[in-house]
Structure 1
Amino acid sequence: MNPPTFRSARLRNVTLAAIGLALCSSPINFAAKAADPPRILVLATGGTIAGQADPRATGAYKSGQITGEQLVASVPGLGQLAKLNAEQISSIGSQDMNDKVWFALARRIQQAFDKDEADGVVITHGTDTLEETAFFLDNVIKGDKPVVIVGSMRPATAVSADGPSNIYEAVQVAADPRSRGRGVMAVLNDKIEGARAVTKTNTTSLETFNSPISGPIGYVDTAGGVRFMAQTTGLKRGNYALPSGDQLPRVAIVYSHANMDAIPIEDAISHGAKGIVLAGVGDGNSSKSAIDALEAAAKKGIVVVRATRVRSGFVTRNVEVDDDKNGFVVSEDLNPQKARVLTQLLIANGMTAPGDMQKAFTATW
């Protein structure tokens, strides 16, 4: 084959230039009218992020004093990220978070998605029980649109309040199309954490929310935008139906400690607990008295789940405790408070057999 001549090469370049000119002058305009901004529904529940200073002491404040609309209006540039609509679900500190508010949140979010009212949801929330709300919603909301829960460690009236920047970044994440299909996410302090893994690790520090086992799923900042660390693979949200009414089954958490007896377990049973989560020592263990009482509870049909009071690590079946013999479930990576939420949902959905429940606890691993 003969090499191309100068003339053929020149004709080829002219042809390519003509094609480029034709593309530039064609009706396809890649810089045409920008797409409509994403519609983000902001659901406010109260918390420190909506707190105001209280004169009773230096640094004191009252939670839930500022409305969702006021929070949204206070963040500069927020309206440039998305079309925002704020609604008030509750005005409480998250230490008072309850089933009624959870159900109201879940139903409103599902309605917004089913009726195509929003492309994403941001929930403002107190930090004390933020991880439990995130995990609950992750298990009951259907669909792949992003749900982002956000809080702050300082009230809105504090010097260097962290709420405005956290809200801005939460909306950034909710408005980003790459956030779809990643489940419920928590956004605080420039990090994006998954609902299953995130937990509060410090009482006062801004750097309090972490995922001790898996680490964050991404990062976000006002300058660099949203950066996810991995693609979504096999994540399924909304595994369980939201029960009718506005209350979940009673499940108690019993905290294990040295010299523990059976009284806390017997007390939980006497008050009608349908399930008991053990916040055990080490690998979800406890004293012989406590384990014997839990075994007796399981034989009565009360669901028993072994979790651990240790900050990180998995609880493993049949190591020091004979879970098969005793009829226990282990929480795997879930801390006691999230193990309680999942136990409540499983019981509410008619799943109480230990083998079936264990499969549910290990579903994502």
Structure 2
Amino acid sequence: MSRKPHIVILATGGTIAGAAAAETGGAYTSGQIGVEDLLSVIPEIRNLAEVSGEEIASIGSQDMDESNWLPMARRCNELLARDDVDGLVITHGTDTMEETAYFLNLTIRSSKPVVVTGAMRPANAHSADGPMNLFEAVATAVCPDSCGRGVMVVTNDTVFGARDVTKSCTTAIHTFQAPNFGPLGHVHAQNVEFQRKPQRIHTTDSEFNVDNVKELPKVGIVYAHAGGDSAIAVEAFAANGYDGIIHAGFGNGNFNQTVGDALAKAARSGITVIRASRALSGAVTEAGEVDDARYGFIAAGLLNPQKARILLQLALTVTQDRDRIREFFKTY
């Protein structure tokens, strides 16, 4: 008789492991419940797979950063290289879940399923969404069709690609959306149905390797707003040794003249400048309303500012050549 798939659950904390003072909700503390306690609430998971748990952090995802991402990627690659591990599920807070998922999508070197999940309600709240999300994440991880789709995010019966997904609402359980392309698929009970595969480079085809990277290059985000002088923020990043700046601009990555001048000065000094948009959806097009060649800028395409930051951080571990980085933004 063939064995059940072995799925390792890596816990990082977040609301899914949070505990509220009252079951009706309100204030809660992230990362209070261990992975084994989470699994004990959902014994049906063990009908799907042999599961084992490992806690690699116990924080709210607002505190997740590169110091967590680098060892997490290395641990994922160690586990996925084992013949007795068939996939991973990572429990994570929702605030920065999309960023962690995209970072892993670019740094994991395996076609085995990797699924990130979380919850909008703490574990002891009425109608907590974490148990079902965790069950459906494991169901997705054991699904043979999940292989080769890159890192996925599973919440609220929906499977999203790491590149496409974003948090769209502060409190709703349907907060995760993929505004440009929609989800990869859906989960019905334990049945996973896919509609598409990601087309951009990820996981096994990615050239980003963080095995020996101790820290990522410094990249900051500057947010545009009407009447504001974001040039001050641009100048502050430049003065403090930042390697790159993401400008979350108006519409198609636009900026006012003062900010444009500051960004152009930063680019001339050797800082890589990426034009992204504060809009929820749509692409920032190369040389659309801005002459990128003249300023030395790079268009972010469909990446939102926070994901453009991650891609630039990884790109700068490989090269400082602007033309090559521009190609990364067209292919990853």
Give TM class, smaller chain. Answer: over 0.9
1:278 matches 2:247: yes
1:251 aligned to 219, 244, 253, which one? 219
Note the residue ranges of structure 2 that are not aligned, 5 or more in a row: none
**What is residue 361 of structure 1 aligned with on the other side?**
329
**What is residue 51 of structure 1 aligned with on the other side?**
18
SS, match of residue 54 in structure 1 = strand
CA distance in structure 2 between the partners assigned to 1:68 and 1:111 by the alignment: 20
The offset of 1:332, in angstroms, is 0.2
**What is residue 178 of structure 1 aligned with on the other side?**
145
TM-score computed with the length of structure 2 as normaliser: 0.95
Describe the shift of the 1:58–1:232 C-alpha distance in structure 2 as closer, same or farther (beyond 3 A). closer
**What is residue 196 of structure 2 aligned with on the other side?**
230
- Which has the higher mean CA deviation after the structures are superposed, 59-68 or 238-247? 238-247
Judge conservation of contact 1:182–1:235 (CA < 8 Å) in 2: no
Alignment of 1:185-334 (within 5 A): 185-222=152-189, 225-230=191-196, 236-238=202-204, 239=206, 240-242=208-210, 244-261=212-229, 262-334=231-303
1:82 matches 2:49: yes
Amino acid at match of 1:259: G
Judge conservation of contact 1:132–1:338 (CA < 8 Å) in 2: yes
Amino acid at match of 2:194: F
TM-score computed with the length of structure 1 as normaliser: 0.87
1:103 matches 2:70: yes
SS, match of residue 99 in structure 2 = helix
Judge conservation of contact 1:309–1:336 (CA < 8 Å) in 2: yes
CA distance in structure 1 between the partners assigned to 2:314 and 2:202 by the alignment: 16
1:167 matches 2:134: yes
The offset of 1:230, in angstroms, is 2.6
Any idea what the Cα deviations from partners look like across 1:271-301, whole Å, max 9, x if unmatched?
2211000010110111101011101101111
Moved beyond 6 Å, runs of 4+: none
Note the residue ranges of structure 1 that are not aligned, 5 or more in a row: 1-32
CA distance in structure 2 between the partners assigned to 1:172 and 1:313 by the alignment: 32
**What is residue 26 of structure 1 aligned with on the other side?**
none
- Which has the higher mean CA deviation after the structures are superposed, 236-245 or 150-159? 236-245
The offset of 1:231, in angstroms, is 5.3
The offset of 1:110, in angstroms, is 0.3
The count of aligned residue pairs is: 328
CA distance in structure 2 between the partners assigned to 1:256 and 1:146 by the alignment: 37
Describe the shift of the 1:299–1:242 C-alpha distance in structure 2 as closer, same or farther (beyond 3 A). same
1:144 matches 2:106: no
SS, match of residue 279 in structure 1 = strand
Describe the shift of the 1:58–1:234 C-alpha distance in structure 2 as closer, same or farther (beyond 3 A). closer
Amino acid at match of 1:297: A
Amino acid at match of 1:169: E
Identity %: 47
CA distance in structure 2 between the partners assigned to 1:269 and 1:293 by the alignment: 10
- Which has the higher mean CA deviation after the structures are superposed, 147-156 or 74-83? 74-83
**What is residue 24 of structure 1 aligned with on the other side?**
none
CA distance in structure 2 between the partners assigned to 1:193 and 1:59 by the alignment: 28
Describe the shift of the 1:101–1:117 C-alpha distance in structure 2 as closer, same or farther (beyond 3 A). farther
Any idea what the Cα deviations from partners look like across 1:9-36, whole Å, max 9, x if unmatched?
xxxxxxxxxxxxxxxxxxxxxxxx3x21
1:352 matches 2:309: no
Any idea what the Cα deviations from partners look like across 1:35-86, whole Å, max 9, x if unmatched?
210000100000000000136x951100000111211222130111000010
SS, match of residue 193 in structure 1 = strand
- Which has the higher mean CA deviation after the structures are superposed, 94-103 or 226-235? 226-235
